Amino acid sequence: MEFSLMTLNLFFIIFYKYMLLHDKEELEENYEEMLDVISEAGFKYVDILGMEVDCLGIDYVKEQLDKHNLKVNSYMFSQQFAKTAADDAANRALDTEIINAGKQAVENAQNLGTKTLMLIPQVREDMSGMSKDEIHANMIRRMTPIVSYAKEVGITTVIEDTPNLQLHLCSTEDLKNVSAKIPEVRIVYDSGNMVLVDEDPVKYFHNFENEIAHVHLKDMQTTTNMQRRPDRGLDGRFWETAPSGAGVIDFKSICAAVKNSNFKGHPTIEFATSPEMSIPDALVASRVYFEKLWSEI
Amino acid sequence: MELYSNISHVDKKVSRIFFGTQSNQMCMGQDSTEVLDSVVACGIQTLDTARAYTASEKVIGDWMKKRGNRNDLVILSKGGHPSAFGRKRINDTDIRKDLERSLKYLQTDYIDIYLLHRDDPDVPVAEICEIMNALHNEGKIGAFGGSNWSVKRIQELNDYAHAHDLIPFEVSSPHYGLAEQIGISWDNTCESITGAGKAADRKWYADTQIPVIAYSSLGRGLMSGKFTSNNLDDVYKYMDEPARKGYAYEANFKRLARCEELAKEKGCLVPQIALAWMFYQGMNVYSIISTTNPERMKRNLAALDIQLTPEECKYLNLED
């Protein structure tokens, strides 16, 4: 099995500096090095962020991926799908803006050569005043035309059990509610998010088994370090991505479930490192960990 | 001790206390006019920054432009830090790239003191010495040296410089202070000259009188006076994870208790005693101190006036 790597946690390291200094030349140097490190760690596939394309331009990203012999496993597009604007007119304008950006994301995915587009609802402001129904309605209304547009050009759109609980999209019940109302949308199974609502990762996989079109392998650990912007679970504990195999997720059972299912794509590793290991070493360790598990099933 | 001293190839007086700009505020690029103005107003005109401190250089550059005071200040910056992904960058291309970016963000055409932020022992000292001399000859840097460099490598580089009629490393910036760095704070590429195992290094610095620009002089908050030895639960409140890993040990808590005792006797503050101790060790020490509170910085300066006897110095460092 060739596993893919989600670039998110690596790109954020260099994006942070770019946000402060807006030095594109430095960002390009760092991006090239990031891809060097990924490639040298033995990955052939990556799941990339819309943000990478927004900052660097699609032609540059494509050129760099080609140069590093990396193929795009999925394109991850974030937007404020759940937001309610100030009034009806502003809401309609926001709908149009998000749907148009979503269609552009479909074209970007096509251009990058992937058949999978992931839609990620962003939370930029406190949503505690919004009801679950309102949040779900906003997401469904905005995602539906994007999914339909993607379907026309042969791209599968996926959504996940988002870990920000303000979105009410993490439990099996909530994710089924939303996905059932968006024709043709499929599920990206994330092995870690549902622990925030105290659901079992293996049962969760089987709950969506026939709808899963993409897989994220993410380990989880509790944390007290707020600087890492952890996600807060229903019971008040804070959780963050753990180095693969170091957290609480039972990957042996999950990999067995995935391997025995109809999913035939490249599972995506969500990467985290520890202070004891350099990033290049930790990337190799993650890949080797899953390859070994997979081969033993 | 006098507030100002001289460092070769720096054409201004250098204050014994450097203002460290690796604060969240400055690294995040927030306007720091108030604190920078206050620091300079109390006589500290030497600022410590680095290419690796994200937006710190830009904040300093914007402030210097606003105040028109570049030529009144001594700027120390650092480059050649390994990349975010761990690639070593001690080579001509990367050092020059870092220096050019530092000059751009600082909005200046020279840096008074330029340090290599880390060493790469795989690179011959001759090559590094030639690069730094070339940058000096181009007028882009004044004095230069290493941060987190071992004494052995500095000595090797300086031997090469002397044999080839070149400028040697004239400053060094290791970790040093009363609080011994017992655990690893950051990573194993950092160099501390604290503890019994580094006595030979300290003797070398005392013999050569090469300026030691000490970082984390107050044990990253341990000796800041923010918490006391009888309330160690506050360690978690005032010390971040690297600080706790490096300094939160019994021996250092004992040193802190002795600082408190002596501070009470002399009618001064714990950080003043801890800083004063450094200046009595026979080395040519400068100290990098960071604070967001200008009043605290003013109080730190009083450390230069505190008298300690050899017995008191030994007592503070548990050598009695």
Measured at the alpha carbon of residue A113, what is the angle toward residues A109 and A119, in degrees to the nearest 5?
A: 25
Express each pLDDT in B82-127 by its tens digit: 999 999 999 999 999 999 999 999 999 999 999 999 999 999 999 9
Express each pLDDT in B265-291 by its tens digit: 999 999 999 999 999 999 999 999 998
Give the CATH number for residue B181.
3.20.20.100
Residue A226, pLDDT above cutoff 80: no
% residues pLDDT > 70 (chain B): 100
Rounded to an integer, the average pLDDT of B7-30 is: 95
- Tell me, yes or no, if A35 comes closer than 8 A to chain B by beta carbon: no
pLDDT of residue B254: 96
Neighbouring-strand partners of residue B67: none
Sequence-distant (6+) residues with CB within 8 A of B115 are: B76, B77, B78, B79, B144, B145, B146, B147, B171, B173, B213
Express each pLDDT in A66-114 by its tens digit: 999 999 999 999 999 999 998 999 999 999 999 999 999 999 999 999 9
Q: Which pLDDT band, with edges at 50, 70 and 90, does B227 fall under? A: confident
Domains of chain A: 70-190 (3.20.20.150), 191-297 (3.20.20.150)
pLDDT of residue B293: 83
Average predicted confidence (pLDDT) for chain B: 95
Cα distance between residue A112 and residue A155, in whole Å: 12
pLDDT of residue B232: 80
Overall domain count for chain B: 1
| Sign of the CA dihedral with B161 first, then B166, B171, and B173 last | negative
B121: which 2 tokens?
Answer: 């022992």
B182: which 2 tokens?
Answer: 């017992």
Residue B234, pLDDT above cutoff 90: no
Residue A142, pLDDT above cutoff 80: yes
Contact assignment for B84 to A278 by CB distance below 8 Å? no
Do residues B224 and B271 lie in contact, with contact meaning Cβ atoms separated by under 8 Å? yes
The beta-carbon neighbor of A33 closest among B85, B101, B187 is B85
Rounded to an integer, the average pLDDT of A50-66 is: 98
**Chain B residues close to A36, C-beta within 8 Å:** 85
**Chain B residues close to A26, C-beta within 8 Å:** 101
pLDDT of residue B257: 96
Express each pLDDT in B135-162 by its tens digit: 999 999 999 999 999 999 999 999 999 9
Q: What is the DSSP letter of B31?
A: -
Rounded to an integer, the average pLDDT of B58-86 is: 97
pLDDT of residue A263: 94
What domain range includes position B207? Answer: 4-316
Q: Which pLDDT band, with edges at 50, 70 and 90, does B298 fall under? A: confident
Rounded to an integer, the average pLDDT of A239-259 is: 96
**Chain A residues close to B85, C-beta within 8 Å:** 10, 13, 33-34, 36-37, 279-280
**Chain B residues close to A33, C-beta within 8 Å:** 83-85, 87
pLDDT of residue B156: 98
Q: Are strands B141-147 and B111-116 parallel, antiparallel or unpaired?
A: parallel
pLDDT of residue B215: 96
B24: which 2 tokens?
Answer: 């969240």
Contact assignment for A33 to B101 by CB distance below 8 Å? no
Contact assignment for A33 to B241 by CB distance below 8 Å? no
Q: Which pLDDT band, with edges at 50, 70 and 90, does B50 fall under? A: very high
Residue B243, pLDDT above cutoff 80: yes
Q: Which pLDDT band, with edges at 50, 70 and 90, does B225 fall under? A: confident
CA A270 vs. chain centroid, Å, equals 8
Express each pLDDT in A153-208 by its tens digit: 999 999 999 999 999 999 999 999 999 999 999 999 999 999 999 999 999 999 99
pLDDT of residue A238: 94
Average predicted confidence (pLDDT) for chain A: 95
B149: which 2 tokens?
Answer: 């460099």
Residue B5, pLDDT above cutoff 80: yes
The beta-carbon neighbor of B29 closest among A20, A278, A279 is A20
